[in-house]
Structure 1
């Protein structure tokens, strides 16, 4: 008998609900039943355990976990404590998570989470002791390297160096990070000579580490700020060759091009910009490089007026895993039904494969959970296992991956109101992706609402200006209507400079005025890098990075242009 049949029968005969939970514990109907039964009788350990194991990532789970941990210890097995810990951790209840991990199976991961949870809960003394237990009990595990570094960070500086030396000798893949931290600690101890020797060792022995890239980049920036572009170039160039997969590689490679231009080395600059497009086609710096190469992609002062031709995808991407029934429901657009079936099929939730996590993200998108859907797909790049990394890289060669990361939602309202306010629709959809991940009812802690995260007082002012009395910020059309009017207004305020308009949209005109005071924006790239609010600097880069990705994915001309240079452009765009 199916779970749906048991659900219907159970409305009159409770035994069928119990059978559903027993036979299909992970099915959404069974979880719904468990919650309903707990409302009538909250002291049912078996039902709470079922929710902890199969609904640890759902809203409101912490109230169930709080009741569960109050039960006698003998009623909860170690694997149940692990599920409880995971639920608390996902909800940032780090102190409770630490306590639960202490009762979970004693794996390096779980024991480290005990310590890390205490650390994040600001219980530093207990955290130090717990980190040392990780090193003592699992000396060769990767978690011990993490523990040793954390001990050096939160323990007394005078005692830190031996722990970092242990990382350097025992975990060579973490040596660069340890050396950079050691140099910083030696500086704080007034041992500048030893600190300098440590940094030199970082460059000579561990030059391919991310830590070496970080140090090189700081040195290069310092030289460039002093006008010494020649030395800045010499220092920054090795980042692209020795640290090609680091986050800094794309940034440094772009600035190699900019600094080469300042030195009159036009061919060298051109090669650097082409290298960024070729190796990092998805990045904000690929757009900046395309601008420097003279491509027709719009610059900070011309993006607003552009109306690029776009070809939105005709069908949704296919699911890489799942039953035939699941695939059919998904293709038919039955998002909620497909999601329910997936919940029954998806048993490997704690450690999903790359294909399973991508499927989970696609199904979340199909049922309207855009925030979590994009997050699940985006976090695939964090996989560290070499096999999983290879699977992830293969996935990025598929157009489906990128279309899922940059979905085309609410395009009718976006195109309509963008046209009315002479705004580039790809810039508007890029703001929406950054602000709300396409969640129409989302609210920020500051009170901003909806797709474009419009503040209620701003919406009131805009509504008065355009003469409307009735609107709802949770209504996508109303939100985009008000949001695009405001975006149009701040573009006018900053003479159609989209970089300044987007910075103002995030930080407010008051903060932007302070940053502009006494300055000329002669080089917009330098201005962006100098924005003092990390959040706003990241916001500007993310919005224009979104714009670039929408352009390279959905504008045929740019798609083909990028494909000529880049192996990272999806295969669908290659001739």
Structure 2
């Protein structure tokens, strides 16, 4: 359990604020001079509503305030919460006092009864006392709580383990029970390891579990499907394809085998399997995706696939037409005429607009991007269209229209890369490609937590009190296993971020509908763009004269803040350094021994490499970031081909889509961190909405 920081001796006295409360209380009530009005004021000072918001406020109290509230708060809810938080705060240094604070609390605070007993057992263990009676009390008193799995594990009651696992299969302690049973009962190892493969895919040892499973003899086809599903969920498509080939041939397994081969550069085999799916499963919903992929992989039969999509899965027809139009011009007018508001039509119009602009026909280019902006205002391509609309209008001397175009981008797509470029074009103090390094913005301020938008009362209470690890464990069991709602996705993201799984959190938030009100919450932004490794980044950026928010944005793109991240080509750590690059920079810094898995060291090396490419490109962040991804040699070649006079135009011409996307995302990250840092930017954005 997480806890408030442990107090020093000087913190054991109530703060002056609390003493004033007590003195004022006796003065007002005891003196009797103010009568009923004084009582009303007193209640307003003392009373805390038993809401999640009140719990959030309480958890930010200091040690002495918690102790005071645990004894003298007017309402029982505040006293109970304060006792729990107070016990957590003092447990590391004063376990005996913590044990006294917890005594009997489960009876007056039944909502968190199992967690109070769990904490009591942990403190007893810390004191060298026997906690078994407390764990048994938890088992007997709270049969409806999944925390029972932790009690069974702590007691080693293996006879209860199978029933516990069956009842709460997704609870983390249940999967740890399964792991232990696999070791204790080798004959039943397959059963328990399959349990983990299905329900414990979040475990850090899941790769080892899956490897053990594959090494077992006598695996059935159904077993292999379960293992394949786990690899599919982990994006290990090569292994998944092999296992799906030896699984029961359902429509789902056939599609996943085909798609896995498709994603691992085996298009011919994938095409054959997609075609088999169409023949063998004529009513399957998997046909929809198979048909879309076949439009790309089997051009000779495109018209037939498109006709089938139009009859059976019309919603996917624009995507399929976009794939066809990429290589066959005859499909382009069909796409533009029938689906003018689709993202695929917007992408095609952008290509046409760029060609017109390069040919000097700016009015036609403007007409094309205006169509995208007006017909598809919510898609990502509209931000690009809006920015270039302003650029081309400026070239024609249409200054007022250009200003309006850039303001529209900031209003409609404030999180985008093109919002940053629009802000710079409007003269906002956000830096330009050559000015980013000259800025030294403050670190974003931590945002106050907010209550969860949904979930059980226990989940909301745990989260509000800052017990995020327990909340995450409960959500694994309580949350939906399939088809999550927007609120479910949002809760999952908050809880994943709370245990430092920022990659998973970002992926979940990306799936929220663009018009979801959850996007307006302050914790949406702080979860999507977390501020972490602040000390390590500050030390490295001060030494190498770097903008810390740019480094933060680069880390977010490179590794999603996962210290152990390793790419398919071998890049390692937070800033994804290749071993040979790291060795060169380490030698420059005089480091003979270093560990790329250590965040401080990795950020130190990555920051120095970024400084080196910035020096090479004379502080130009655009060329430096592109070099960080594609290498200075490629960037030099592109500068020779496209020039360096117009940076925006240069970026659009980068021939590597991955590098172009990378640069835009790093600078988009920087922009969103800058918005958190400089609140005046948010005020400007709000003024635009008026």
* CA gap 1:150/1:250 in 2 versus in 1, 3 angstroms: same
Counterpart CA distance in 1 for 2:218 and 2:396 is: 68
* CA gap 1:430/1:317 in 2 versus in 1, 3 angstroms: farther
Q: 2:447, 2:522 within 8 Å by CA — same for their partners in 1?
A: no
* CA gap 1:403/1:113 in 2 versus in 1, 3 angstroms: same
* Deviation digits for residues 52-80 of structure 1 (CA, Å, limit 9, x no counterpart): 4312454325336647895456xx6xxx8
Aligned to 2:433: 300
Does 2:150 correspond to 1:27? no
Counterpart CA distance in 2 for 1:478 and 1:566 is: 44
With structure 1 as the length reference, what TM-score do the two structures score?
A: 0.83
Query: Which among 248, 251, 269 is matched to residue 384 of structure 2?
Result: 251
Counterpart CA distance in 2 for 1:209 and 1:529 is: 21
Aligned to 1:431: 554
Aligned to 1:161: 303
Aligned to 1:350: 482
Aligned to 2:161: 17
Aligned to 2:333: 200
CA RMSD of aligned residues (A): 3.0
Aligned to 1:150: 293
* CA gap 1:215/1:3 in 2 versus in 1, 3 angstroms: same
* CA gap 1:69/1:344 in 2 versus in 1, 3 angstroms: farther
* Deviation digits for residues 392-434 of structure 1 (CA, Å, limit 9, x no counterpart): 6211111111110000111223233323332221111111111
* CA gap 1:128/1:506 in 2 versus in 1, 3 angstroms: closer
Counterpart CA distance in 2 for 1:526 and 1:539 is: 16
Counterpart CA distance in 1 for 2:641 and 2:374 is: 38
1:444 is displaced (CA, Å) by: 2.9
Counterpart CA distance in 2 for 1:165 and 1:410 is: 53
Q: 2:225, 2:244 within 8 Å by CA — same for their partners in 1?
A: no
Aligned to 1:484: 607
Query: Which among 495, 506, 510 is matched to residue 629 of structure 2?
Result: 506
* CA gap 1:474/1:260 in 2 versus in 1, 3 angstroms: same
Structure 2 counterparts to residues 42-441 of structure 1, below 5 A: 42-44=186-188, 45-56=190-201, 58=203, 59-60=206-207, 61-63=209-211, 66=214, 70-72=218-220, 84=227, 86-90=229-233, 91-92=236-237, 93-96=239-242, 98-99=244-245, 102=248, 112-113=255-256, 116-117=259-260, 119-120=262-263, 122=266, 123-124=269-270, 126-133=272-279, 136-138=282-284, 143-155=286-298, 157-183=299-325, 187=328, 195-196=329-330, 198-346=331-479, 348-378=480-510, 380-381=511-512, 389=513, 393-441=516-564
Does 2:169 correspond to 1:36? no
Q: 1:7, 1:16 within 8 Å by CA — same for their partners in 2?
A: no
1:492 is displaced (CA, Å) by: 1.8
Aligned to 1:560: 683
SS of 1:136's partner is: coil
Aligned to 1:540: 663
* CA gap 1:453/1:178 in 2 versus in 1, 3 angstroms: closer
Counterpart CA distance in 2 for 1:340 and 1:514 is: 51
SS of 2:655's partner is: coil
Counterpart CA distance in 2 for 1:266 and 1:153 is: 43
Counterpart CA distance in 2 for 1:180 and 1:22 is: 47
Aligned to 1:4: 150
* CA gap 1:566/1:488 in 2 versus in 1, 3 angstroms: farther
1:329 is displaced (CA, Å) by: 4.2
Q: 1:119, 1:127 within 8 Å by CA — same for their partners in 2?
A: no
1:184 is displaced (CA, Å) by: 5.7
> Across the two proteins, how many residue pairs are aligned to each other?
534
Counterpart CA distance in 2 for 1:402 and 1:244 is: 22
With structure 2 as the length reference, what TM-score do the two structures score?
A: 0.70
* CA gap 1:526/1:118 in 2 versus in 1, 3 angstroms: closer
Structure number with greater Rg is 2
SS of 2:650's partner is: helix
Q: 2:564, 2:572 within 8 Å by CA — same for their partners in 1?
A: yes
Aligned to 1:570: none
Counterpart CA distance in 2 for 1:435 and 1:124 is: 30
Q: 1:118, 1:127 within 8 Å by CA — same for their partners in 2?
A: no
SS of 2:429's partner is: coil
1:283 is displaced (CA, Å) by: 0.3
Counterpart CA distance in 2 for 1:377 and 1:64 is: 33
Q: 1:99, 1:114 within 8 Å by CA — same for their partners in 2?
A: yes
Q: 2:406, 2:426 within 8 Å by CA — same for their partners in 1?
A: yes
Range moving further from structure 2, 316-325 or 557-566: 316-325
Q: 2:642, 2:650 within 8 Å by CA — same for their partners in 1?
A: no
Structure 2 counterparts to residues 449-528 of structure 1, below 5 A: 449-469=572-592, 471-517=594-640, 519-528=642-651
SS of 1:517's partner is: helix
